[in-house]
Structure 1
Amino acid sequence: MHNQYPRSVCPRFLKILHFDAYTTTTYLFRINPTSCAAALPKLFHIIFPDLQSHARAIHLPVARCLGKLVLQCISDDMIATAIAAVNAEKKIRTPLHEIIAITENGLGIRYQSAWNEVLVLLQALFKRLHRASSPLLHTTLELMGELRLAPEDTYKERLEAALGVAVANMGPEKFLQVLPLNLESPGTSKAVGRAFLLPLLKDYITNTEMGYFVRELIPLGDRLAQKSQEFAEQGREIEAKIYETLTQQIWSLAPGFCDLPLDLPQAFTKTIAERFSNVLYSQPDLRPVISQGLQALVEKNQALARSDAEDEDLQKAYGLTKAEATRNVQIMSSFAVNYLAVYFNVFSQALPMYRGYILDVIKCYLGITGAKDINTTFKKVLTLLSQSLTNSISAIIDPNTPPPMSHTMMDLAITMVPFLDLESTQHLYTLITSSLLLREDEPTLQKKTYKVLNRMAENEIGRAILLRNINDLQTRLLDAMGTTAPSSKKDRLQTLLNTVKLLPTTDLHLIPSILSEAVVCTKEVNEKARILSYDLLVTMGNKMREGGIVVNSKVDGMDEDMPDGRWNAVWFNCFDEIYVLFFLPYANT
């Protein structure tokens, strides 16, 4: 067909023809899936040979057309029939087997110029067959594995993508049964080492059986680690490094196996939970991947449990229902207290640049820990914080050593604030405001104190504590005005803004007291501090516009017998001060 028309016309003609074939077949699929199943292989026989054309411009339209037919017109019944034929070991050529055979022929030498496009079609086939890719596409995968061993770069990128889609849909266990890694010393000359698959597996493993990782890959990693140690003892550093790298690559697969595993209740036992804890303690290089996996076990299941989709659709897409996802979260919550203890210890040992992701995991597991356990844990944190503040001396922060204990406990306190009850939040407020706001010699602790107050303002219980202590809070903020370290200004401005929002209308004396500070901070070098200072001024204005009383005797510089004033009496005085301090210096520029 493509030889009957000029090359410039052929691609456009094919698009029209293939669009017509696609729309006709998808319509037939909707009204009569059985007839469509019979017609689909015939359509493949007609269109697929176009991939042999020397006019490469038509290859991609052909592959896309066939890919759409695969995704839209291969029915569940077609897949079930093909699987049944395989399981019965009958040599029945079902319609789906015909389509697969035609597509496999595309990996032959006759179609070499279109291999990139054939691989696009294979991606669609793996996606549609999903877990049924095993065993239906075993031969196809073997052919792809042979291509991957060939030193040809023109199709390598597309082949890697197709292999990745195979991993994601077939599952790593079935995939590796067809293309084994063979990382240990091969027993025969036919055993091809495929270490190159490890980065691919890392990127594409998802929503599969965690039991395979526990049962096969962790022991494999242990054996590789043992080999690395043996080589190191023999002074064979190169071999030792190779096996060490392979061990790390095996463990790097953990997050994928933790991404909505189908068998979490069976696979994530106390033994594997303890193994993860031991790795966190003993192998700092593996902490990020283990942490990523542990976080995914909770967050991915929480997201599925909250999904608006129907269980039938979730079961089809992920092999899990909302109830099963909820159960998975409950299982992980049974390990939460122990993991928090592990992560608190690991956090105290970690260098500053490695602490961010650890706090993320801590926050995740605090979210599934019971209130009683959280507050019991927090009491320990508060005790250590109090002790470290008593014994602390001003320290120079060294990024190459863990921060002082006081800094570590403050970071943990900041993270725990949203999960605390009223009593614990009050204890934290009392400790930090009485000890740290005036610590100009400890700018890091001062900055973290303002962060705690800001975190309190973000949740209901925290705001209740701030309101309960609003008079004390205003006094302490005003006392700290002259001792604010430059690095704390941004966080202090945020605290002032949050406090202004909470002020009772019966006493607005804080506003005129901090007006000068807010105005001066509009000239800060730090952009975020400047923006916050303007936000603070606007918030102050809005608060005064709501009405209220200024207790003038509490305003710095006012006489103690100064009568109280309503907002409208002081409004213009406030803006006079803004004009004098801020606008007047620029009046003649």
Structure 2
Amino acid sequence: FPKIFDILTQLWLSEKSEVVNSATHAMDVLLKDALATACSSPGTVEQNRSKLEKCFNTVQLGLGYQYSTVWQQVLHIVKVMFEIAGLNCSDMLLGLLKSLAELRDSYKFSYNNELEHAIGAAIRSMGPEIVLNVVSLKKDNGDLNIDRSWLLPVLKENIKISTLEYFVKGILPLALYCHRRSVQLAESNDGIGAHSSELLYLQLWNLLPCFCNHPTDIKNSFKTIAKILGTAISDKKELRLAVMASLRRLIASAKENENVDDLQELTRFDKNYLPILFNVYTTKPIGTDEEGQRLAALDTIKLYLTIAKPELNQQLFSHAIDRLNSSSDDPEDHFIKESILDLIRALVPYQSSENVDILYKQCVHNLPDIKNNKEQKKAYRILEEICASESQGCKEFVKN
């Protein structure tokens, strides 16, 4: 293979575009059909290590300036190389990553999209930790390297499997740095600088949902970030959507993997998160952003209830009924009442038949007499939930 790769890279220097295209196509096919097999496991990689290194180094030469007219083609091959070799050959590709970063940082580089697609393939196959160790977001003093902010959307699009620990240690400190910097710049009347730092702070936090797609360390690392996430939902409106999406992805990942330990760890924090989420949902929104946050809170509540402890679900139900009883018919209380009815509807499937009976007598029995249209609709929805639910409590209630 190394000899064929040598010949094909030489053909990239041809002045005829059809020769260049054919060389690229041949290399693409070779990578996918032949090299992919050699890279398929750690064992096959060790058997073919010297040949693979020669092939990778030959392609890396294509990033030299004499090949600049065909960089678009070279970058396509680099992307394919990361896709097939990134998982098991990452140690042989670090020099290539470094060269890509230096090119991207260079003056007036013209193929940003192609280069970012190649780095994206590396992130997908190697994971963000390995890539960010080479193409660092940090300066030597630990501050964020603003010139590398182009990496943030690439990371967001391509992180597939990682760890919560890496977010806590590698990304969160940079987000906190950007937030501090934004405050400092605002105090010194640099509005544009403050706004830029605030955007970077949000971009870094918006990476969190990606790190929550099947992370490998929920059981060991969730506790290190759990309190920070709770505070973000209750106090930082600008972070709510990202954090709630992260919680939903963590629960969904643990369920998909049928990982009992991970589910138990997330369940352990139900009493912390559900009251905060209930509070977000029952707070009257100002503007469409906050309305969006409320709806996301309800989605998160519904998913969290599926793993919450039964006794907590009963407590939340009793508390909601009490709040409903203490609200008046005053127009000011309509919003709270309607919000609580939505929460009660979400809680219905987790209640005993006795609790469903209490609910029926209080909210559904007097349906025709409810004057407020919205409230009446929500009561009908609760009735619909009771009748349609497959839960033991609802079935027993309907049967009796």
Q: Same fold (TM over 0.5)?
A: yes
Calculate the TM-score normalised by the size of structure 2.
0.87
Q: What are the Cα deviations for residues 515-553 of structure 1, in whole angstroms up to 9, with x where unaligned?
A: xxxxxxxxxxxxxxxxxxxxxxxxxxxxxxxxxxxxxxx
Gaps of 5+ in 1: 1-39, 83-92, 306-324, 397-402, 469-589
- Flag the 1:395–1:447 CA change in 2: closer, same or farther, 3 A: farther
Match of 2:356 in 1: 425
- 1:328 pairs with 2:267: no
Identity %: 27
Match of 1:310 in 2: none
Match of 2:377 in 1: 447
| Counterpart among 64, 67, 74 of residue 31 in structure 2 | 67
Tell me the matched-pair count.
387
Deviation at residue 183 of structure 1 after TM alignment: 6.6
- Flag the 1:183–1:418 CA change in 2: closer, same or farther, 3 A: farther
- 1:79 pairs with 2:35: no
Which runs of structure 2 are paired with 1:302-313 in the superposition (5 Å)? Answer: 302-305=255-258
One-letter amino acid of the structure 1 residue matched with residue 247 of structure 2? L
Deviation at residue 435 of structure 1 after TM alignment: 4.1
Which runs of structure 2 are paired with 1:318-467 in the superposition (5 Å)? Answer: 325-349=259-283, 351=285, 352-388=291-327, 391-394=328-331, 404-439=335-370, 441-461=371-391, 462-467=394-399
One-letter amino acid of the structure 1 residue matched with residue 340 of structure 2? M
Deviation at residue 234 of structure 1 after TM alignment: 2.0
Retained in 2: the 8 A contact 1:210–1:261?
yes
State the distance in 2 between where 1:72 and 1:434 align.
68
Q: Which structure has more helix as a fraction of its residues? A: 2
- Flag the 1:184–1:288 CA change in 2: closer, same or farther, 3 A: farther
Q: What are the Cα deviations for residues 63-122 of structure 1, in whole angstroms up to 9, with x where unaligned?
A: 43133133344342243468xxxxxxxxxx711111211221222334434433332332
State the distance in 2 between where 1:170 and 1:250 align.
20
State the distance in 2 between where 1:59 and 1:113 align.
14
One-letter amino acid of the structure 2 residue matched with residue 393 of structure 1? D
Retained in 2: the 8 A contact 1:225–1:243?
yes
Structure number with greater Rg is 1
What SS class does the counterpart of residue 193 from structure 1 fall into? helix
State the distance in 2 between where 1:117 and 1:429 align.
68
Retained in 2: the 8 A contact 1:258–1:293?
yes
Retained in 1: the 8 A contact 2:8–2:27?
no
Deviation at residue 436 of structure 1 after TM alignment: 4.0
* Structure with the larger RCO, 1 or 2 (CA within 8 Å, 6+ apart): 2
Q: What are the Cα deviations for residues 196-248 of structure 1, in whole angstroms up to 9, with x where unaligned?
A: 11121122223112212112322222222112112222222222212211111
Retained in 1: the 8 A contact 2:281–2:295?
no
State the distance in 1 between where 2:271 and 2:146 align.
45
- 1:173 pairs with 2:129: yes
Q: What are the Cα deviations for residues 356-387 of structure 1, in whole angstroms up to 9, with x where unaligned?
A: 22111111111111222211221111111222
One-letter amino acid of the structure 2 residue matched with residue 303 of structure 1? E
One-letter amino acid of the structure 1 residue matched with residue 376 of structure 2? Q
Calculate the TM-score normalised by the size of structure 1.
0.61
- Flag the 1:242–1:184 CA change in 2: closer, same or farther, 3 A: farther
| Counterpart among 232, 238, 244 of residue 291 in structure 1 | 244
What SS class does the counterpart of residue 307 from structure 2 fall into? coil
Q: What are the Cα deviations for residues 255-276 of structure 1, in whole angstroms up to 9, with x where unaligned?
A: 111111122232212x421111
State the distance in 1 between where 2:218 and 2:336 align.
36
State the distance in 1 between where 2:297 and 2:24 align.
46
State the distance in 2 between where 1:261 and 1:199 align.
19
- Flag the 1:133–1:456 CA change in 2: closer, same or farther, 3 A: farther
- Flag the 1:228–1:427 CA change in 2: closer, same or farther, 3 A: same
Deviation at residue 288 of structure 1 after TM alignment: 0.7
- 1:145 pairs with 2:101: yes
One-letter amino acid of the structure 1 residue matched with residue 369 of structure 2? L
- Flag the 1:192–1:280 CA change in 2: closer, same or farther, 3 A: closer
Gaps of 5+ in 2: 286-290
State the distance in 2 between where 1:378 and 1:153 align.
60
Retained in 1: the 8 A contact 2:63–2:99?
yes
Retained in 2: the 8 A contact 1:67–1:120?
no
One-letter amino acid of the structure 1 residue matched with residue 374 of structure 2? T
Deviation at residue 422 of structure 1 after TM alignment: 1.9
One-letter amino acid of the structure 1 residue matched with residue 281 of structure 2? F
State the distance in 2 between where 1:387 and 1:183 align.
56
Match of 1:255 in 2: 209
Q: What are the Cα deviations for residues 411-435 of structure 1, in whole angstroms up to 9, with x where unaligned?
A: 1112222222322222222221134
What SS class does the counterpart of residue 260 from structure 1 fall into? coil
Retained in 2: the 8 A contact 1:44–1:66?
no
One-letter amino acid of the structure 1 residue matched with residue 226 of structure 2? A
